[in-house]
Amino acid sequence: MGRGDLTDAEWAVIGPLLPAGRGRWARPAGDNRRFLNGMLHVLRVGCPWQDMHERYGKWNSVYVRFRRWSEQGVWDDLLQTLVDLGLSDNWQH
C-alpha cells in the first residue's frame, strides 16, 4: 500500500458501495481497490492519467473504469451514501 492509499478501515466502508458486477470485457471487481487508489492518486497529485504510478495497473484500464463509473452515477451514489452515513458533511465538495 502506497502513501495516500485507502486504509483497510476506509476500504471496508467504501468497497461494498462500488459495483461488483463484471461486464463482458471488464476486469474483476476484486481490482476495485487498486483501481480506486489509482483514481485517487491522479486526482490528489493532479497528474495526467498516463503518468499515474504503475503500481495501480495500466493507466488506461483505471481511466476506463473511472469514466464508466462517472457515466453510471457511481460517484454520486457513493458520496450520497457517505453523507447518509454521516461520514461526510457535504457530498458536493
Lowest mean pLDDT across 12-21, 35-44, 51-60: 12-21
Quote the pLDDT of residue 66. Answer: 94
User: Which CA distances in Å does 70 have to 43, 54, 66, 76, 77?
Assistant: 14, 22, 6, 8, 10
43-66 tens-digit pLDDT: 999 999 999 999 999 999 999 999
Assess contact for 37 and 6: CB atoms under 8 A.
Answer: yes
What is the rounded average pLDDT for all residues in the chain? 86
Q: How confident is the model at residue 80 (pLDDT cuts 50, 70, 90)?
A: confident
Query: Mean of the pLDDT values across residues 18-22?
Result: 77
The DSSP secondary-structure symbol of 58 reads -
Query: Mean of the pLDDT values across residues 15-30?
Result: 72
